[in-house]
Amino acid sequence: MTTAIYPGTFDPVTKGHEDIALRASNLFDKVIVAVADTSSKKTLFTIDERVAMAASVLSQVSNVEVIPFRALVTDVAREKNVSVIVRGVRAVSDFDYEFQMAGMNRQLNADVETVFLVPSENLACTSSSLVREIASLNGDVSLFVDEVVVVALKQKFS
């Protein structure tokens, strides 16, 4: 049984994230969507809110589990017996950063491979930071996020 971990901040979870999680769920027996509780990034949503939104958005996918984590993703992978880290890559600029991170992760845990997945073309420009910015200016983000996230963003910015 091959288990993959898809880590990220997911602040908030977007349709691009959902697309990558769905693609991964078709490739691996189990996918753990690991929501980072990080102090290095100031997030709009709390860890509990981000986990709840991701769990809601992905609730129809039977082989996806959503968990919070506050550790190195390589340590979580070791603890959960995960052999693959899934990362979404939208553009060349993403790849440069992700390539460096994959190399570092390999140094930290040689038993884990990183797999890069590309989102659907219509989601390639979607990012959490752009969604937050549009929502903060009362823009319509329904093309980019699930309805549960639309509601949560409206509550945050009201």
The Cα–Cα gap between 151 and 8 comes to 21
| Residue of 15, 17, 23, 132 with catalytic role | 17
Does 17 qualify as catalytic in the annotation?
Answer: yes
Place of tokens 């490739």: 27
| Residue of 15, 25, 128, 132 with catalytic role | 128
Residues 68-80, buried b or exposed e (16+ Cβ, 10 A)? ebeeebbebbeeb
| Residue of 39, 41, 42, 62 with catalytic role | 41
Residues 113-158: tens digit of each pLDDT = 999 999 998 888 899 999 999 999 999 999 999 999 999 999 999 8
The pTM assigned to this predicted structure is 0.94
The full set of domains in the chain, from first to last, is 3-157 (3.40.50.620)
Average pLDDT score over the chain: 94
Print pLDDT tens along the chain (158 aa). Answer: 899 999 999 999 999 999 999 999 999 999 999 999 986 778 999 999 999 999 999 999 999 999 999 999 999 999 999 999 999 998 877 888 999 999 999 999 999 999 999 999 888 889 999 999 999 999 999 999 999 999 999 999 98
Does 106 qualify as catalytic in the annotation?
Answer: no
Choose among 33, 64, 39: nearest CA to 51.
33
| Residue of 78, 80, 90, 156 with catalytic role | 90
